[in-house]
Amino acid sequence: MQRKINLLLLLLALVGGAVGFGIGEWLLSRYEGEMSSILLVGIYFGVLAFCIGLGCLVAEMISPKLNGRSWRERYSGLSWKLIVPVTLAAFLALGSLFEFVYELDLGGVKRVNDIVLVIDNSESMLTNDPNNQRFTAAKDLIARMDADKRVAVVAFDDVPLLVQPFASVATDSEKQQVYAKIDNIEEAMYGTNIAKALTETMQHIQEKGDSNSGSMVILLSDGATENEIDSVISDYRDQRIPVNTLGLGTESSGNFALLRNIAERTGGTYTDVANADQISLAFQDIYRNLDDHTLLTERTGAPAASTYLQILHIALILLIGAALGVALGLMFDNRFLAKSFGIGGAFAGLIAGLILEFGLQGESLGAPSVRLLADLTLAAIIALFTVIVPISDHRRRERGNKGAKLNPSAGMGRRPGDRSSGF
């Protein structure tokens, strides 16, 4: 048993990881939201496993330092036959299964069915949104809501006004009633008090919210500076109610630090909206990502703060890494490599899982950069782990086989073609 390394295999595994990442990113950008996330994630991991496996196989064909020349001459054909079923097909199924498990409503995470629109109606809105496009955007969003949702509307200046208590939007007539309430909102006046608006919103959620489902707030404002909001934010954090904030205007026209702070501390998202005609698209983006969580993307909504999903995310990526290592050993029909790659894959999966979990939920790197780093980590650590977990020395086996040809009695009791490294 020897500790060894194939630097060409490391290089081509990294190349395969990068190519798999590129194809996967194209698939995500093209089909996310149109294809089932379970199938899309499965395809992503299937393509990634195939590209890494192909890189490793090509490297050993060129320089068979791990499997030996006899493998290349006699058994490489089997590896070419196995590469598709043990990588592309197997990981399409495994990735889809793990994504299905990840999306199950377990761990006490409540799916959001109650949505509160908290809309700034202060005097400054006469300048930033003179045509009241924010209210038109609110109605457009309500029109797109699913039948199981309920909506409430709060308009605020220095005093909040509950325009519409929680109401079902399952039918067109119910939606029309909400539209009428929004149309009756009076013209913007006075200053901006976000703390009071969020306090009123929380009180309504506690009194009229559905205890069997989660709640979410979408807050639109052109910015304000307030000092007494910490206790309000704490209530939302304790109840795990995300507040998604939108800052209308530019940094020079409004102070959006408060809005960013609210979103960050409650598990919501913050969106810059330069012009009022962009509000509708921003509302729809928030709704589209409602309760969104896949193995490859950031968790949003109520699942964002789930410790259960955090642990599950890392554990599932760890299993994918271990399975990838074992798959490469199967592809080479080498039990020593399967052990080395499998242990290395588990370690690589743990590191990649941590990168995905904390990278996607953080703000320092974009999601594509996080996925690239995780993909390359999987490829690199698996390829390097033969330095840590030893494998059978093929050169000694080959010399032994040559000696057996000179001494026929040395090969007695062994079937022709047997390999000590095979499964």
Q: Regarding beta strands 160-168 and 243-248, do their DSSP bridges make them parallel or antiparallel, or are they unpaired?
A: unpaired
Most confident range (mean pLDDT) of 129-133, 357-361, 378-382 is: 378-382
Q: What band does 110 get if pLDDT is binned at 50, 70 and 90?
A: low
Average pLDDT over residues 291-304: 76
Is the pLDDT at 282 greater than 60? The verdict is: yes
Gap between the Cα atoms of 71 and 64, Å rounded: 8
Question: Which pLDDT belongs to residue 408?
Answer: 41
Q: What band does 363 get if pLDDT is binned at 50, 70 and 90?
A: low
Question: Which pLDDT belongs to residue 241?
Answer: 86
Q: What homologous superfamily does CATH list for 112-290?
A: von Willebrand factor, type A domain (3.40.50.410)
Question: Which pLDDT belongs to residue 420?
Answer: 43
Is the pLDDT at 292 greater than 60? The verdict is: yes
Question: Which pLDDT belongs to residue 312?
Answer: 94
78-116 per-residue burial string, b: 16 or more CB within 10 A, e: under 16: ebeebbeebbbebbbebbbebbeebbeeeeebbebbbbb
Question: Which pLDDT belongs to residue 419?
Answer: 46
Gap between the Cα atoms of 269 and 416, Å rounded: 65
Question: Which pLDDT belongs to residue 339?
Answer: 93
Task: Give the angle 378-392-389 at the CA atoms, nearest 5°.
Answer: 40
Please tell me which residue, 125 or 401, carries the higher pLDDT value: 125
Task: Give the angle 317-78-74 at the CA atoms, nearest 5°.
Answer: 130
Least confident of 66-75, 174-183, 312-321: 66-75
Is the pLDDT at 412 greater than 80? The verdict is: no
Domain ranges for the chain, please list them: 7-105+304-409, 112-290
Q: What is the number of other CB atoms lying within 10 angstroms of the CB of residue 120?
A: 25
Per-residue model confidence as pLDDT tens digits over 157-166: 888 999 999 9
Please say whether the beta carbons of 142 and 175 come within 8 A.
Answer: yes
Is the pLDDT at 63 greater than 80? The verdict is: yes
Average pLDDT over residues 321-334: 95
The C-alpha R_g of the chain, in whole angstroms, comes to 28
First-to-last alpha carbon distance for the chain, in angstroms, is 16
Is the pLDDT at 360 greater than 50? The verdict is: yes
Residue 182: phi, psi to the nearest 5?
A: -65, -40
**Sole residue written with tokens 């930033």:** 128
Question: Which pLDDT belongs to residue 142?
Answer: 94
Least confident of 19-33, 261-275, 383-397: 383-397
Q: What percent of the chain has pLDDT over 70?
A: 87
Distances (CA, A) of 135 to 120, 142, 178: 10, 11, 11
Per-residue model confidence as pLDDT tens digits over 194-244: 999 999 999 999 998 887 778 899 999 987 656 678 888 888 888 878 899
Element (H, E) at 152: strand 150-156
Question: Which pLDDT belongs to residue 345?
Answer: 96
Per-residue model confidence as pLDDT tens digits over 11-43: 999 999 999 999 999 999 888 767 888 999 999
Per-residue model confidence as pLDDT tens digits over 299-316: 766 677 678 889 999 999
Kindly report the length of the chain. Answer: 423
Element (H, E) at 270: strand 270-273
Gap between the Cα atoms of 46 and 35, Å rounded: 16
Residues in contact with 321: Cβ distance below 8 Å, sequence separation at least 6, in sequence order: 345, 346, 347, 348, 349, 350, 352, 353, 378, 382
What does the longest C-alpha to C-alpha distance in the chain come to?
102
**Sole residue written with tokens 């909206």:** 273
Question: Which pLDDT belongs to residue 416?
Answer: 40
Is the pLDDT at 396 greater than 90? The verdict is: no
> Mean pLDDT in the chain?
86
Most confident range (mean pLDDT) of 179-183, 228-232, 286-290, 294-298 is: 179-183
**Sole residue written with tokens 């001494």:** 407
Please say whether the beta carbons of 91 and 320 come within 8 A.
Answer: yes
Question: Which pLDDT belongs to residue 383?
Answer: 94
